[in-house]
Amino acid sequence: MPASKEEKLRWLEAEAEDCKLCRLNEGRGNVVFGVGPANAKIMLLAEAPGRMEDKTGVPFAGAAGKFLNKLLLEAGLKREETYITNVVMSRPPNNRKPLPDEIGFCRPFLKGKISIIKPELVVSLGATASEELLGRRVVLGSEHGTLQDCEYAGVKFKLFVSYHPAAALYGGQTRLKLQEDFKKLGKLAEKI
Residue 86 and residue 36 in contact, taking contact as beta carbons nearer than 8 Å: no
* Whole-angstrom distance, CA of residue 192 vs CA of residue 185: 11
Half-sphere exposure of 35 (CA within 13 A, CB side): 14
User: pLDDT tier at 1 (50, 70, 90 boundaries)?
Assistant: low
User: pLDDT tier at 42 (50, 70, 90 boundaries)?
Assistant: very high
- The chain-wide mean pLDDT, for the chain, equals 95
What domains lie within the chain, and their CATH numbers?
5-190 (3.40.470.10)
Q: Is the pLDDT of residue 55 over 80?
A: yes
pLDDT tens-place string over residues 174-183: 999 999 999 9
- SS3 (DSSP) at 40: coil
pLDDT tens-place string over residues 101-117: 999 999 999 999 999 99
- SS3 (DSSP) at 186: helix
DSSP 80-131: GGEEEEESSSSPPGGGPPPPHHHHHHHHHHHHHHHHHH--SEEEEESHHHHH
Global pTM reads: 0.96
The dihedral over CA atoms of 125, 127, 129, 130, expressed in degrees to the nearest 10, equals 100
* Whole-angstrom distance, CA of residue 185 vs CA of residue 179: 10
Residues 6+ apart with CB under 8 A from 129: 45, 46, 47, 86, 87, 164
Burial of 28 (0-12, 13-18, 19+ CB in 10 A): middle
Q: Is the pLDDT of residue 64 over 80?
A: yes
The single-letter code of the amino acid at 188 is L
